């Protein structure tokens, strides 16, 4: 397993606009976090931060009467510290970075919801789209939304997967129940999961693929498995987007820009991502062979015949489709990633010509 990178963590958490929020909050807010995270936040922008900062060891000297809201984001003992803070300061709003603040929907608006003890599951039926990473399964979500179907969203996303390399004793059921409580609809939870996130979950917690499959079977989950035929294109997309705050062009905010940066490490990263895809697809195979009700879609086929596959998805999840399904323009979306087409072809050509792939 690669050593966790604080730079990568901060980069991926930019997806939630955390740094913007930290620099926008005022003196009534306090962030309690690990020293490495505080150092990265303080150096992220060339302007003064009014937000108060403290470590788990020093917070007491920073909690004054002026402090109204406290965000706790710690790699160790986050929940015990929150419980202690709630006892010490019952008049202040205290929330968890891991289980509340980062638990956002498609609007990606982190909010100061007071942290609450774990709630029981609502027993919503899981409707999971499980994809290999950077296969553009988000395009399927986009097409479903545009055709008045529920949109699966990546609640347990890349930023949390990166955080799990630092965070100790992550409680999967606590996070899932919070997502289920806030975002389930019609007794279903529509969610996108990607195999790199699942792998991080399996590697950094006591959760496992066997437990995951058992959960899906027990809750009579409906599953759509997604991968790509063109592993080159997928690996280039992974190499480029992994080094940006955005997971996909299809989930970015309207005004956000994604710049494809090709550098000396791009080819090596692309090769690494391509080699990992075999393991990612084996995870899909294991789920497919477990007896879970599912369909399997390759992205290229979905792009070419959206009406057929949207109808199949709607039938699986027991939803009615529009009488006329409106296909979405996949190529138009890719144009939002500046330089991807040109530079992606450079990488592809190099791999074919120089490496014989």
pLDDT tens profile 294-308: 999 999 999 999 999
pLDDT of 352? 54
Where along the chain do the CATH 3.40.50 domains lie?
Answer: 16-101, 125-355
**pTM of the model as a whole:** 0.90
**Cα–Cα distance between 232 and 300 in angstroms, integer?**
13
d(CA 165, CA 151): 28
Among 102, 97, 68, which Cα is nearest to 81's?
97
- Residue 357: per-residue pLDDT: 46
55: left (phi over 0), alpha (psi -120 to 50) or beta: beta
At 180, is the secondary structure helix, strand, or coil? Answer: helix
Q: Sheet containing 29-33: give its strands across.
A: 52-54, 29-33, 69-73, 93-96
- Nearest to 72, CA basis, from 51, 45, 54, 47: 54
Say what the pLDDT of residue 343 is: 53
In the chain, which residues have pLDDT < 70? 1-4, 254-257, 259-264, 335-357
| pLDDT for residue 336 | 63
> From residue 205, how far is each of 29, 111, 143, 148, 172 by CA, in Å?
31, 26, 33, 36, 8
Q: Which fold has domain 16-101?
A: Rossmann fold (3.40.50)
Strand, helix or coil at 38?
A: helix
Contact 187, 260 (CB under 8 A): no
| pLDDT score, position 1 | 46
Tokens of 118: 């774990």
Q: Does domain 125-355 have CATH number 3.40.50?
A: yes
**Cα 312 to Cα 321: distance, rounded to the nearest angstrom:** 10
Q: Write down the pLDDT at residue 242.
A: 86
DSSP string, 245-290: S-S-TTTS-TT--EE----TTHHHHHHHHHHHHHHHHHHHHHHHTT
Q: What is the pLDDT of residue 295?
A: 98
Q: Tell me the two tokens of residue 9.
A: 């963590």
């Amino acid at each position: 397993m690669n050593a966790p990178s604080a730079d990568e963590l901060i980069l991926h958490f930019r997806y939630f606009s955390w740094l913007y929020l930290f620099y926008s909050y005022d003196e009534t807010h306090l962030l309690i976090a690990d020293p490495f995270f505080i150092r990265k936040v303080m150096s992220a922008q060339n302007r003064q931060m009014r937000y108060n900062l403290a470590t788990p060891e020093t917070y007491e000297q920073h909690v004054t009467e002026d402090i109204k809201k406290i965000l706790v984001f710690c790699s160790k003992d986050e929940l015990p510290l929150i419980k202690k803070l709630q006892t010490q300061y019952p008049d202040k709003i205290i929330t968890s970075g891991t289980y509340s603040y980062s638990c956002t929907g498609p609007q990606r608006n982190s909010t100061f919801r007071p942290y609450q003890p774990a709630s029981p599951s609502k027993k919503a039926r899981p409707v999971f789209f499980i994809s290999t990473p950077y296969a553009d399964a988000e395009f399927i979500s986009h097409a479903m939304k545009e055709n008045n179907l529920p949109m699966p969203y990546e609640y347990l996303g890349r930023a949390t997967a990166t955080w799990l390399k630092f965070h100790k004793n992550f409680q999967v059921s606590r996070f899932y129940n919070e997502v289920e409580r806030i975002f389930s609809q019609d007794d279903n939870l529509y969610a996108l999961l990607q195999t790199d996130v699942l792998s991080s979950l399996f590697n950094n917690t006591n959760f496992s693929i066997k437990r995951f499959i058992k959960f899906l079977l027990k809750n009579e989950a409906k599953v759509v498995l997604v991968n790509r035929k063109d592993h080159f294109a997928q690996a280039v997309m992974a190499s480029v987007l992994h080094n940006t705050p955005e997971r996909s062009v299809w989930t970015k905010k309207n005004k956000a820009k994604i710049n494809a940066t090709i550098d000396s490490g791009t080819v090596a990263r692309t090769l690494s991502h391509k080699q990992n895809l075999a393991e990612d697809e084996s995870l899909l195979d294991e789920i497919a062979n477990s007896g879970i009700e599912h369909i399997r879609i390759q992205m290229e086929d979905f792009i070419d015949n959206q009406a057929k596959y949207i109808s199949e998805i709607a039938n699986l999840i027991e939803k009615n489709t529009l009488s006329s399904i409106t296909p979405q323009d996949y190529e138009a979306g890719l144009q939002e990633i500046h330089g991807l087409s040109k530079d992606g072809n450079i990488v592809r050509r190099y791999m074919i010509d120089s490496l014989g792939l």
